[in-house]
């Protein structure tokens, strides 16, 4: 498997510094958080995109994905959501990234079937755009659809190879789903896996990998047993937790922990 980390752990850090961290600590790729406060976002010019893509290529580091904030199950009109996804798709294409991330974002006050249908409709609308650009749209297990069982209610009806799933191990655990259950639900659609660690369900402040309660060993075991050979991306949510330790000083240990889990699973 290949290892990456998310720029959510180093908010606002310039691209050359992100690449220096990746190369210094042996990561194969980086997930870029696509937000206006970050160096890479949908408003970046064509020249800026070309420059960033060239920097990644020169460093020998891959852009794993563009982590966007489109909420595909949110109430309202389809057009703004579809447009936001298409902007992310074009950004990923220009960066040479194989994936974009979207959230569910359903309103819990609305019937689940209504939200699921809206999400499936919007994802179905952009599926051919994604295919034409060579990018997959991944629905993250998050917020209103935090388990694999919930995500498959949307992905199943879409039924398109360029619409898949991003498994966030914290949210499926918080949803009470075992790793084997999540994998069984998402396997036909799985794009990549976000790993992280926390102290408890009540305290989700990010911790070094292996220092918390999340079932990382079980997740890696089930992936390896099933011959899955994709990406593990460490999403360290420093952006939302100022008290968390700085990610750069943890990257080396995090990589070693993941390599140990992979070795043990093998």
What is the average pLDDT across 91-114?
98
What is the average pLDDT across 130-139?
98
pLDDT in tens, 199-258: 999 999 999 999 999 999 999 999 999 999 999 999 999 999 999 999 999 999 999 999
pLDDT in tens, 168-202: 999 999 999 999 999 999 999 999 999 999 999 99
Helix (H, G, I), strand (E, B) or coil at 232: strand
pLDDT in tens, 68-94: 999 999 999 999 999 999 999 999 999
User: Looking at residue 140, what is its pLDDT?
Assistant: 98
The encoded tokens of residue 181 equal 């259950």
Task: Identify how many contiguous H helices and E strands the chain contains and give both numbers.
Answer: 9, 8
Angle CA 223–236–93, to nearest 5: 75
What is the average pLDDT across 20-44?
98
- Domain chopping of the chain, boundaries: 2-265
Contact 198/168 with Cβ under 8 angstroms? no
2-265: CATH architecture: Alpha-Beta Barrel (3.20)
What is the average pLDDT across 33-38?
97
Q: What is the DSSP string of 132-197?
A: HHT-EEEEESBTTB-SHHHHHHHHHHH--TTEEEEEEHHHHHHTT--HHHHHHHHGGGEEEEEE--
């Amino acid at each position: 498997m290949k290892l990456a980390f998310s720029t959510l752990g180093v908010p606002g850090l310039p691209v050359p510094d992100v690449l220096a961290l990746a190369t210094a600590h042996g990561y194969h790729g980086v997930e870029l958080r696509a937000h206006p406060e970050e160096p890479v976002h949908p408003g970046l010019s064509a020249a800026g995109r070309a420059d960033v893509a060239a920097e990644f290529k020169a460093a020998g580091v891959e852009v794993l994905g563009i982590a966007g904030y489109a909420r595909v199950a949110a109430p309202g009109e389809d057009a703004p959501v579809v447009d936001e996804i298409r902007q992310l798709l074009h950004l990923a294409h220009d960066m040479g990234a194989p994936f974009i991330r979207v959230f569910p974002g359903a309103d819990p006050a609305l019937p689940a079937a209504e939200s699921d249908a809206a999400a499936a409709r919007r994802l179905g609308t952009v599926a051919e755009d994604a295919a034409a650009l060579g990018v997959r749209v991944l629905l993250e297990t998050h917020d209103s659809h935090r388990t694999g069982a919930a995500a498959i209610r949307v992905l199943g009806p879409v039924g398109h190879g360029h619409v898949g799933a991003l498994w966030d191990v914290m949210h499926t655990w918080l949803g009470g789903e075992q790793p084997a259950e999540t994998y069984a639900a998402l396997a036909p659609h799985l794009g990549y896996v976000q790993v992280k660690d926390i102290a408890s369900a009540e305290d989700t402040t990010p911790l070094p990998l292996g220092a918390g309660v999340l079932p990382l060993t079980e997740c890696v075991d089930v992936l390896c047993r099933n011959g899955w050979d994709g990406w593990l991306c460490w999403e360290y949510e420093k952006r939302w937790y100022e008290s968390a330790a700085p990610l750069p000083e943890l990257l080396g240990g995090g990589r070693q922990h993941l390599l140990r889990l992979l070795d043990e699973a093998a």
